[in-house]
């Protein structure tokens, strides 16, 4: 049981770290993408996926 809770905590921390990096470096990535629609779409999709996973980990109950 303890290992399950520890893995959940580590997963939440990892997702938060990814989302924080996404938030901080979003402008730089968009500038480097050069306006390619596929890259911008993938980046926005990744951000939405991270936001969804963050909400799931925030409201997850046993």
Q: Would the pTM count as exceeding 0.75?
A: no
Domain boundaries, the chain: 12-59
Say whether pLDDT at 31 is over 80. yes
Q: How far apart are CA 19 and CA 54, in angstroms?
A: 8
43 neighbors 33 (Cβ within 8 angstroms): yes
Say whether pLDDT at 49 is over 80. yes
Say whether pLDDT at 40 is over 80. yes
CA distances from 16 to 4, 13, 23, 31, 53 (A): 18, 5, 10, 23, 9
């Amino acid at each position: 049981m303890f290992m399950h809770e520890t893995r959940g905590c580590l997963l939440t921390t990892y997702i938060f770290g990814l989302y924080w990096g996404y938030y901080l470096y979003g402008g730089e990535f968009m500038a480097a993408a050069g306006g390619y629609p596929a890259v911008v779409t993938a980046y926005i999709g990744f951000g939405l996926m991270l936001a969804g996973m963050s909400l799931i980990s925030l409201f997850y109950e046993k």
